[in-house]
Amino acid sequence: MCGRLSQYRGIRDFVATLSMPNALVNTVGDQPLGQYNAAPSTPLALLHLEGETLHADRVRWGWHPRGAKDRTTPINTRVEKIAHGAYFRAIWPHRAILPIDNWFEWVYEGGAKKQPYLIRRRDRAPILCASIGQYPAGGREPRDDDGFVIFTPDSEGGMVDVHDRRPVVLSPELAREWLNLATPKDRAEQIVAHLGEPIEAFEWFKVGMAIGNVRNLGAGLLKEVGPIVRNGKKGHA
């Protein structure tokens, strides 16, 4: 994925999609989140379980281990990096859901600049992205090195551009299982590796070039400037 997304609904709307009866500890507030053009390093509302309680906290998008020689900050990861590498080992047990409204991909279609596309669910429901991270837990205060990464599939590419890697989006049922601390590691790996929502669940369309500048804000960035495409076929709003 191209490192830009929207998270503009209120946290209660996102939580309602999960259909979880758990008590909620909400540190992000009940107002609309208003993030239409969120870039890496932006604090975003992240959902995770602590015991039987669901928590909603603002956590920075992107994470790397304290003291890592590589100073880059990944914003996403693949399941094989978790299963066969040490980089994310410390945060693998800390499963979370990033609820968003849409994300963006840029595609070269000729000309001087790539064309941005907005991707959302066809039913306009919130998008539940499988994530892992380091975040406040056990009553501790947020730390400067807190952060999270989003899973992308091992083998499937993007939608608009097959060379991009889209987020692993879970159904509400699988999102609840992913968040459940009792879900075994093998099952969690299976969920992110093979059980993400199919391309048919999404639609996409061109938006204006203004989305490429992180200083640009507001709902106007989401305006369609081309026909809606569903599974490779043009549709209607």
> Which residue segments constitute the domains of the chain, with CATH numbers given?
5-105+125-200 (3.90.1680.10)
Q: How far apart are CA 32 and CA 152, in angstroms?
A: 27
User: Percentage of residues in the chain with pLDDT exceeding 90?
Assistant: 66
Q: Exactly one of 50, 52, 80, 105 is catalytic; name it.
A: 105
Matching residue, tokens 């907005």: 118
Q: How far apart are the first and last CA of the chain?
A: 24
SS3 195: coil
Give the residue with greater pLDDT, 233 vs 4: 4
Residue 21 has pLDDT above 80, yes or no: yes
Neighbours of 131 (CB within 10 A): 30
Q: How far apart are CA 82 and CA 89, in angstroms?
A: 6
109 is catalytic: no
* Residue 139 pLDDT grade (very low, low, confident, very high; cuts 50, 70, 90): confident
Task: Specify the pairing of strand 228-230 against strand 102-107.
Answer: unpaired
Q: Which of 72-76, 119-123, 166-170, 193-197 has the lowest mean pLDDT?
A: 72-76
Q: Exactly one of 2, 189, 203, 224 is catalytic; name it.
A: 2
- Of 15, 224, 11, nearest to 120 by C-alpha is 224
Give the residue with greater pLDDT, 98 vs 22: 98
Q: What are phi and psi of 39, to 5 degrees?
A: -110, 165
2 is catalytic: yes
